[in-house]
Structure 1
Amino acid sequence: MRLKVSHSTSYSYEPAKSGLIQSLRMWPSVYAGQKIIDWRVDIDAPSVRRGASFRDGAGDLIETVVIRGPVEQVTVRVSGEVETQDLSGILRGHVEKVPPLAYLRASRMTRADPALAELSADVIASTGGGLDAAHGLAAAVAEAITYQPGETESDTTAAEALALGRGVCQDQAHALIAMAHCADMPARYVTGYLHATADGTLHQASHAWAEIHVDGLGWVGFDPANRCCPNDLYIRLGSGHDAAGAAPIRGMATGQGAETLAVDLHVLDASQQ
């Protein structure tokens, strides 16, 4: 499948910032499941200096951007086309240097509490481990945390989302990572794009899911929000220990004042354009 992406992220500052540094992780991953046909990342802002890009130990392409002030508005625009294949969630052919065991470390967002540990233990007891256990953990998260926007915040933890019983894809991914850690299975957070949900609804925001390292298969993606493994409707961008570590845009601004964020995203089937 060929997916066409148009994505803009705009930051407005009042009063203007005296300077801004951004780290961008907005390029599709290089692996057997997707091929970049065309891809551009542009920055609309005065006095922009783009640094050299590099691939980190997780295989993600990262670029640092420095913007000198005064900065009233910055817009990061992504446009491109990617050819995708359905590999049943398996991250085949992805080159990275970080060993899977590094992803057994929990962050504040993915730290398990007794309720997460108990739910994980119940799944492992019924599945025995391996790929079946990974599927079981994802299914348990989907049942325990209903997808419902507006119920959680960007800093809601996995434990808090489970206690609430509602959340978004970020919360479900964090909970799945926490439960996998309880079963001694390396797991990490993944960001990317999704063409449509299971019911055919087009996505208006970027998407997130989790990958679990399964013996004999390697990294396998699981999306509790849509109760599936990522397929050819997904574009993978990058990974991290949690949402903060895998964020497509991370930044630090100099100066006091309020920040306003606006996002516009379209992920379309290129064959229908």
Structure 2
Amino acid sequence: MILTVSHVTTYSYDRPMLSAAQSLRVFPSRFDGQRVIDWSVQIEGGTRGATFRDGAGDKIESWTLRGPLEAVVVRVAGQVETTDLAGVLQGHRETIAPEVYLRDTVPTEADQALRDLAQSAAGASGALDTAHRLSGAVAEAIAYRPGVTHAHTTAAEALALGEGVCQDHAHALIAMARCLEMPARYVSGYLFASEDGTPHEAAHAWAEVYIDGLGWVGFDAANRCCPDARYIRLGSGLDAQGAAPIRGVARGVGAESMDVTVALASAQQ
């Protein structure tokens, strides 16, 4: 599948800021399931700085801007050819050991309810079966409902609510997998449409679980599936903050607001 992406993030300030710096993780991952045809990243009025690839294989680029700044506009656009690998991250080069992703963070720390759910979902047919069962358990326990959680909602809080969004599903699945000593991480990216073809919020997140002998395998509990050709993978981290596509800081006393517009289309349609 060939997917086109248009992703615009605008930070607005009620008083001009003196300067700003941005760290961008908005580049499609390099693995067998993705081939970049064209990709452009620009910040209006900004200066591109260092570019590097971290130990998880993610490309990160820094930008700086000088004030006075009333807004910072980040534009990402491109086209990617995707292939369905049944969620398996084949051909992805990274140097971080999977065991690093056994470490808990505040959003992914498991309480007793998450530990109990993980134990009840554990399968007897191996790690891959267990990972599928964990994803299914999360989908059953946390209904998809936008607006009931926020950026800092933890996996335990989302489970207690019984509702949330893709970030909450991913955090809960990660927490439960780590309870069973299975390395798991958060993945950010894009989704063209849900499995039945219904348009979906294009900026998306899911989890990857490390399976011995197979490697990293993606699980999207929010859509009850593994990532396929409808997905574009950008980057990963221990949780949503670590995998955030855009992170930045502005110097000044103004209050900040943010607006994000993401659109995906299939070039074959």
TM-score (normalised: structure 2): 0.98
- Alpha-carbon distance between aligned partners in 1 of 2:145 and 2:62, rounded to the nearest angstrom: 34
Whether the 8 Å contact between 2:202 and 2:264 is mirrored in structure 1 is: no
- Which position in structure 2 is the counterpart of 1:38? 38
Q: Secondary structure at the match of 1:11?
A: strand
Within 5 Å, which residues of 2 pair with 1:151-230? 151-230=148-227
Within 5 Å, which residues of 2 pair with 1:73-84? 73-84=71-82
- Which position in structure 2 is the counterpart of 1:88? 86
- Alpha-carbon distance between aligned partners in 2 of 1:27 and 1:201, rounded to the nearest angstrom: 25
Q: Percent identity?
A: 60
Within 5 Å, which residues of 2 pair with 1:12-51? 12-45=12-45, 48-51=46-49
What letter matches 1:173 in structure 2? A
- Which position in structure 2 is the counterpart of 1:118? 116
Q: Secondary structure at the match of 2:20?
A: strand
1:172-202 CA deviation, whole Å, 9 max, x = no partner? 0000000000000000000000000123222
- Which position in structure 2 is the counterpart of 1:267? 264
- Which position in structure 1 is the counterpart of 2:52? 54
Task: Name the stretch that deviates more: 164-173 or 260-269.
Answer: 260-269
- Alpha-carbon distance between aligned partners in 1 of 2:262 and 2:162, rounded to the nearest angstrom: 28
- Alpha-carbon distance between aligned partners in 1 of 2:200 and 2:5, rounded to the nearest angstrom: 11
1:129-154 CA deviation, whole Å, 9 max, x = no partner? 41000000000000000010000010
Task: Name the stretch that deviates more: 229-238 or 8-17.
Answer: 8-17
- Please state how far the C-alpha of 1:128 moved relative to its aligned partner: 4.8
- Which position in structure 2 is the counterpart of 1:237? 234
- Alpha-carbon distance between aligned partners in 1 of 2:169 and 2:262, rounded to the nearest angstrom: 22
- Alpha-carbon distance between aligned partners in 2 of 1:179 and 1:66, rounded to the nearest angstrom: 39
1:26-83 CA deviation, whole Å, 9 max, x = no partner? 00000000100000011113xx221121100000000011111111111111111100
- Alpha-carbon distance between aligned partners in 1 of 2:229 and 2:114, rounded to the nearest angstrom: 31
Q: Secondary structure at the match of 1:225?
A: helix
- Which position in structure 1 is the counterpart of 2:132? 135
Unaligned runs of 5+ in 2: none
Whether the 8 Å contact between 2:192 and 2:202 is mirrored in structure 1 is: no
- Please state how far the C-alpha of 1:96 moved relative to its aligned partner: 0.3
Whether the 8 Å contact between 2:193 and 2:202 is mirrored in structure 1 is: no
Within 5 Å, which residues of 2 pair with 1:238-257? 238-257=235-254
- Alpha-carbon distance between aligned partners in 1 of 2:200 and 2:251, rounded to the nearest angstrom: 33
Q: Secondary structure at the match of 1:102?
A: helix
Equivalenced residue count is 269
Whether the 8 Å contact between 1:205 and 1:263 is mirrored in structure 2 is: no
- Please state how far the C-alpha of 1:100 moved relative to its aligned partner: 0.2
Of 134, 146, 166, 2:143 maps to: 146
Whether the 8 Å contact between 1:90 and 1:219 is mirrored in structure 2 is: yes
What letter matches 1:87 in structure 2? L
What letter matches 1:247 in structure 2? A
